Amino acid sequence: MPRYLISFDDGWMTFPEEDLPDVAAAAHAVAQEAEDAGVWVFGGGLHSHEQVSLVGTDGTVTDGPSAAKNAYIGGFSILDVPSREEALEWAAKLAVACRCAQEVREFGPGSKP
């Protein structure tokens, strides 16, 4: 089956900070539903993009976000579903739970589990 990356930009979550526990619980409930359905592969939220390290082709490590980049993944889910339509259905559930839009992309040929 094809695998899909469902993700959201770090800046798309604009709800009040005090709502975070409710959003996290809703997101975990959708993840559990996907796991129970046998389509969950892996996923989670990411720490702030301020805690990123960039590793260059020469091995040089730079701490902090890339100056050339203006979008950062805030969280993601990888699902193994039979169709793009089903991936979009799961993305809709995650959008409601996370209170923000979700981007859906299929992994390319040759991607390994």
Q: What's the rounded Cα separation, in Å, for the pair 41 and 62?
A: 30
Extents of the domains making up the chain: 3-106
pLDDT in tens, the chain (113 residues): 899 999 998 888 888 989 999 999 999 999 999 999 999 999 998 877 677 888 889 999 988 776 666 678 889 999 999 999 999 999 999 999 999 999 999 998 877 66
* Superfamily for the 3-106 domain: Dimeric alpha+beta barrel (3.30.70.1060)
Hey, which residues does 6 pair with through a beta bridge? 77, 104
Q: What's the rounded Cα separation, in Å, for the pair 97 and 107?
A: 23
In this structure, what DSSP letter does residue 67 have? Answer: T
Burial of 107 (0-12, 13-18, 19+ CB in 10 A): middle
Compute how many other C-beta atoms are within 10 angstroms of the C-beta atom of residue 65.
17
pTM equals: 0.85
